[in-house]
Structure 1
Amino acid sequence: DPTVPPSGPGCVECTSTDGWWLHLRRCASCGHIGCCDTSPSQHASRHAAETGHPVIQSFEPGEDWFWDYTTQEYLDKGPKLAPPNHHPLDQPTPGPKGRVPKDWQRHLH
């Protein structure tokens, strides 16, 4: 449902487990915010696999691309999603502030 707003400003699962992320992705079907496949926990793709919601949009400022996990391809167009279309501008990448380890690059996929 593209009218559903994002589930929050950060990855739902990382937020609840004191985890951290590199980039965020938004489910085009339900608004779930998950972390990207480069992040340690890869929650966005896990959400897609568990729910059957294959299309995500980047939730990063300045990015508006869509990805389909089923075809493993970028989409030319996606649905117009309810705002906001990115995480807060004062939220660092990687984030969230205070939870990212100093050696964060060693933890990426």
Structure 2
Amino acid sequence: MTDIKGIDPSVPPAGTGCGDCDAVGGWWFHLRRCAQCGHIGCCDSSPAQHATAHWKSAGHPLVQSFEPGEDWFWDYDRNEMYESGPELTPPRGHPEDQSVPGPADRVPPDWTQRLHR
């Protein structure tokens, strides 16, 4: 199961938070990890939706949740969720003490009103 197109289990995650949000001073709700290149992007509920933007620009269709304790994958091309998949290089989620949403110092007080639904 490790030779699935769009998954490279040897690639580590690119960081512990959404690098695109960090670059512009933004914030995220939940994080997704590209299973091919390790890019960490924010989920579709987040204001900037960087994980989906990464799929559209890079063409990497598979992401895994980067939330601690979650193992599921999402396939953007097929619009399908998979409960599990190959073991990716650790860590499998952001640090457990990292705030959700995060980062804590950039989350606005009205963050629940800013989520995409």
Deviation at residue 17 of structure 1 after TM alignment: 0.8
Counterpart position of 1:64: 71
1:27 matches 2:34: yes
What is the aligned residue count?
109
User: Post-superposition, which runs of at least 4 consecutive aligned residues in structure 1 deviate over 4 A?
Assistant: none
Counterpart position of 1:104: 111
Counterpart position of 1:39: 46
Deviation at residue 97 of structure 1 after TM alignment: 1.4
Deviation at residue 76 of structure 1 after TM alignment: 4.6
Q: Distance in 2 between matches of 1:10 and 1:58?
A: 12
| RMSD after superposition | 0.9
**1:9-38 Cα distance to aligned partner (Å, 9 max, x none):** 000100111100000000000000000000
Contact kept in structure 2, 1:66 and 1:78, CA below 8 Å: yes
Identity %: 62
Q: Distance in 1 between matches of 2:80 and 2:96?
A: 27
TM-score (norm 1): 0.96
TM-score (norm 2): 0.90
Gaps of 5+ in 1: none
Q: Distance in 2 between matches of 1:62 and 1:105?
A: 23
1:79 matches 2:86: yes
Gaps of 5+ in 2: 1-7
